[in-house]
Amino acid sequence: MTKTSMTQFVSDNIQESLENINTCLICEILEVDMNLLKADVQPLNDSEATPILDVPIAFHQTGQFIIQVPYKKGDTVLVACSQADIDPLMFGGGKAASRAFSANDALIIGGINYFTKPIQNEHPDDLVIGTKDFTTKIVINEAGEISVKSLKFKVEADDIELIGKTITANGEDLTVDLV
């Protein structure tokens, strides 16, 4: 083998290896199971790519709490590929495969908003949970204020406690002096 053909051989092998490494992909959700928190996705950057099936959906969560986003068919998401086999973790045991950065170890880590479809963000400095058009929202600002806007606000509780120096409804003072 000549020096040129050896260089080409090594270069081709490196290129082929790099093409099989997946770090993250922008995908469209094809099907979603919000009970098992997994989805089938289609990578959008490669017209020849096959769907990636049963991709776990990552949420902000702890042992006791979760912030759940209701993904739907057609949503655009960012999918990251783990540097190691996730099957033993996801299925509770077994021997890990030696694969790395495989589409078999993909995780949905969030939604993507295209620059061509900007959201008119009314609250760029606040924590917001709401619809994209902000007609329904919960806003927490740095001053410690919490605002809720919705068509209907329902509270179910065994006990409801309102504490404040002033309590108003539709501009009317509801504060009662019980002392």
Give yes or no for a contact between 43 and 25, defined as CB atoms under 8 angstroms apart: yes
Residues 39 and 92 in one domain: yes
Taking only the tens of pLDDT, the chain with its 179 residues reads: 666 687 887 777 777 766 666 678 999 999 999 999 999 999 998 889 999 999 999 988 888 888 888 999 999 999 998 877 777 788 887 777 777 777 888 888 888 888 898 888 888 889 999 988 889 999 999 999 999 999 998 989 999 888 878 888 888 887 776 55
Supply the CATH number for residue 101's domain. 2.40.50.230
Q: Report the residue count for the chain.
A: 179
The total domain count for the chain is 2
Residues 93 and 128 in one domain: no
The verdict on residue 141 lying in a domain is: yes
Instruction: Classify the C-alpha dihedral 9-11-14-17 as positive or negative.
Output: negative
Residues 76 and 148 in one domain: no
Residues 151 and 71 in one domain: no
Residues 103 and 25 in one domain: yes
Distances (CA, A) of 53 to 88, 104, 145, 157, 173: 17, 8, 42, 40, 56
The verdict on residue 11 lying in a domain is: no
DSSP 134: S
Tokens standing for residue 156: 């179910």
Range of the structural domain that residue 137 is part of: 119-158
Q: Is the pTM of this model over 0.75?
A: no
Q: Say how far apart CA 173 and CA 163 lie, in whole Å.
A: 14
Q: Say how far apart CA 36 and CA 90 lie, in whole Å.
A: 11
